[in-house]
Structure formats: C-alpha cells, structure tokens
Structure 1
C-alpha cells in the first residue's frame, strides 16, 4: 500500500521535493525520461490555463442551463475592488468556478483527480503561481507533488464519488491542492503533508448528491469552497500549524467513512440535496 509519509521521508533524506521523488519513480515505472514526463505534465498545465481563461469569459453554459456565468461574476466583483475576501482568495474562487463551468459545458479540462473536482487544483495552482511568481519548472514539479498524493489516495482509498462520496472527489482535490500550494510557497514536504491532512480532515463525510444526476449542482460551487479550504490549510501549515492525525491515517479514515455511507449519498441522486423539493422540480423539468 502506498504511503505519503514514505514519500515525505524520501524527500527529506534526499533533500528533494515530493514531486521530484514522483518524477524519479515514474521514470522507472514508465521507462521515460524526466524531459518526457515534464513535457506531458506541461501539456496538462496548459489545458488548466486554457480552461480557466475560457470559463472566466462568462460564455460557458451547461446544457441544462443550471450552470454558467458565475465565475465571471466573481471575477468582475474582484476587478471592481469589492472583494470581501481579498485578491488571492477571490481569484481562486473565480478560477475554480471557471474550470468547473467549462467541465459542465463539455469543455476540455484536466481531471484532477476527477472531472467533477477539476476546478480545485488549477484554481489554487495558478493563484499561488501568480502570487509567488513561481517559475514554470517549479509549477510543473508541484503538479507532480499533487499527483503523488492523488496516487496515494487512489491506492489507500479511492477518488470516486460513487464509491466514497464527494469527500473522495472534492476532498481529495482539496488535499492535493493544499500540499501543492505549500510547496510552491516554499514550504517543506513535511509542511505539505500537514496541509493535506488539515484539508482532507475538513472534507470528511462530504456526500455526493448531484441534483438531477448532473455534475453541476452542488458540484461546481463545491470546487470553489474546496479551493479556499486548500488555501486555508496551506496557510496554517506554512505558519507551523500541524495536523494531529497524519495524512495516511486521514486517507484511511476517508475510505472507512465512504464504506459506511449509504448508497443514497454516493452519486445516486437519491439523497441529500438531490431530493429536496427544489431539486425534484429541477429533475422533473428534464424528464
């Protein structure tokens, strides 16, 4: 069974980033050069940039009509200097909504780790990149760090809403984004692990309850809250705040909670928000 603690220990011993440990591992597993791996990840990064830009135009609408234009609204408020939460958080919110709206409108995104949670990671990544003026090489390495955590989560638990609820999708994305943000901000691998644990702990038990069975409501806005939570977890870890429960144990706990969830709360649209009176009316409109 994979362990994020093992990755952190390797990184500490070799004085490397977790992302660099993952690159070395993938070079061996996939029999590819570092340049080849970085080129492939660079392509993913470009898709992330493009999806953020596309959604911020406000022109992406889902076929259902439930989703579209919210990213542009948040961005416009920020540009008017009216943000309640400040530039960094406001940008992350708008970008998370943006990518999620592109996904809901059948646009091209990077599943990170899933399509339904695709807005969290790019929102945090591009916002922290901009804030710290990070070099693209470091941004790509940070993506490998988040991918490493995603691999551990997929191995120890899962990243499927149908299996583990939304904690497995938005929760996993939030943890991955938090670890990545710490790294880009100059934090240690150990601090990144604490950030991931803090982030995922805050998502435990989150149900998957898509209205009308669509990956739109409440999924899109959960991406935005996941991005802000990732930033909060990273901020705490960078300040020296530690998680009492290690990240591997938090992941194992998420898996256990997912098994305990009733089927109605795991992407079946048979429970949670999906069965509210309003949700039922929305669903009826599509029948």
Structure 2
C-alpha cells in the first residue's frame, strides 16, 4: 500500500516537488509520456476554469430550486470591498460555491476527488494562482500533487460519501487542495503533508446527510467551508506548524471512522440534516 510519506522522503532526497514524484510514478504505472499526462491534466484545469466561470454568472438554478446564485452573491460582496474575511478567502468561497452549483445544475465539472466535493480544489488553486501570479505550468503540476494524494486516500481509506461519509469527500478534497496550495506557495514536500493532515483532521467524522438525497444541501456550502479549511491548513503549514499525526495515519483514521459510522449517516438521507423537520419537508415537496 502506498504512503504519502514515502513520496515526501523521495521528493526531499531528490530535491524535487511532490508533483514531480507523482508524475514520474504515473508515467511508469500508466506507461504514458510526461507530455500526454500534462495534456490530460491541463484539460482538467481548463474544465475547472470553465465551471468556475459558469457558476459565478449566477444564472444557473438546480432542478429542485434549492441551489443557484449564491456564488455570485459572495463574489459581488467582496468585489464591493465589503468582505469580512478578505478578498482571498472570499474569492475562494465564491469559486467553491460556483463549481458546486454547476455540479448541482448538471453542468460539467471535474470530480476532485468526487462530484460532491468538486468545488474545493479548483477554488483553492485558482485563488492562489491569482494571489501569487502562478504560471500555468506550475498550476498543472500542483494538480498532480493533489491527484497523488487523492490516489493514496482512495487506496488507504475511501473518497466515497456512501462508504465513509462526507469526511471522505470534502475532507479528502480539502487535504488535496491544502497540499497543492503549499506547493504553489513554495513550501517543502513535508509541508504539503502537514497541510493535508491538518485539513483532513479538521473534518474527521463529517457525515454525509444530503437533504432529499440530492447533492445540494448541505453539500454545496460544504465545498466553501472545505476550501476555507484548506487555505487555513496551508497557511499554518507554510508557517512551520506541523501535524502531530502524520498524514498517512490521519488517512487511515478517516477510513476507520468511516467503517464505524452508521449507514444512516453515509449518503442514505436517513440521518443528520436530511431528517430534520425542514429536511423532511423539502423531500416531500420535491417528491
């Protein structure tokens, strides 16, 4: 079973980024050239950009009427200089909502690692891109860092809400985004691991309780909070704050918690917010 810490050791021994280790690993495993892998990842980045733009237009509404337009509201507020959290955080929140809204409206997104958590990674990456004036090549490389961590999470635990709750979806996405953000900001491979661990630890035990069984409430807004947690974790790691528990142990713990979590709290819409009076009313109205 692969371990992220092994990649950290290899990257630091070679004096390269985690993304370069992941890319080399995938070249060997998939028997594809670096150019071919970059082309595929560049396409993913392009779709991410398009989904952010589509969501920020404020024009889309989900079939249920529960989702749509919130990303545009957040963007309008921070562009007016009224943001409580500052432009960087507010723009990340808006972008995360945007992509998640596009998903809920049946638009095209990149599942990163899942459709339900699709807003976290693009929100963080594209926000850091603007803040630090990151070049396209480095942004694509950072996607390899995120993808590599996602593969390890899927192998050691799960990225499925139906199997391990929302901690496996939003929690994994936040960890992936935190690691990628650290790399973009010039952090070390070990700092990407610390950021990922801090982010995932902050979401352990998060249940999957979609109201009316739809990937809308509370899923869309959790993308925004996941993006925020990723940026907070990245900032701590870049400052030299370390995770007391290594990332691979955090991942294993998330998987164990998922096994201990009752089925009612794993995407069945039989527990949590889905069975509140309002949740039941929404389900009855929709059905």
Query: Does the pair score TM above 0.5?
Result: yes
CA-CA distance at 1:22 after TM superposition: 0.8
Q: What is the aligned partner in structure 2 of residue 267 from structure 1? A: 267
Per the alignment, residue 151 of structure 2 pairs with 151
Offset, 1:286: 1.8
Matched with 1:197 is 197
Structure 1: stretches of 5+ with no match in the other structure: none
> Is residue 241 of structure 2 the alignment partner of residue 241 of structure 1?
yes
**Equivalent residues, number:** 287
Deviation at 1:161, TM superposition (A): 0.2
Residue of structure 2 in register with 1:187 after alignment: 187
| Counterparts of 2:162 and 2:32, CA distance in 1 | 33
Q: Which position in structure 2 is the counterpart of 1:254?
A: 254
Alpha-carbon distance between aligned partners in 2 of 1:198 and 1:90, rounded to the nearest angstrom: 21
Q: Does 1:276 align with 2:273?
A: no
C-alpha displacement of 1:156: 0.1
For residues 197-218 of structure 1, the C-alpha deviation after alignment (integer angstroms, 9 at most, x for no partner) is: 0000000000000000000000
Deviation at 1:2, TM superposition (A): 1.1
- Dislocated runs of 4+, deviation >2 Å: none
In the aligned structure 1, how far is the partner of 2:240 from the partner of 2:29? 35
Shift of 1:135: 1.0
Alignment of 1:209-228 (within 5 A): 209-228=209-228
1:166 is displaced (CA, Å) by 0.1
TM-score normalized by the length of structure 1: 0.99
CA distance in 2, matches of 1:258, 1:105: 28
What does the per-residue CA deviation read over 1:37-71, in whole Å, with 9 as the maximum and x for residues that have no partner?
A: 00110000000000000000001111100000000
Paired with 2:26 and 2:201, the residues of 1 have a C-alpha distance of: 28
Residues 188-247 of structure 1: CA deviation (Å, up to 9, x unaligned):
010010000000000000000000000000000000000000000000000000000000
Offset of residue 29 of structure 1: 1.1
Give the distance between the partners of 2:269 and 2:36, measured in 1 at CA.
41
Other-structure match for 1:111: 111
Partner of 1:161: 161
Q: Distance in 2 between matches of 1:123 and 1:177?
A: 9
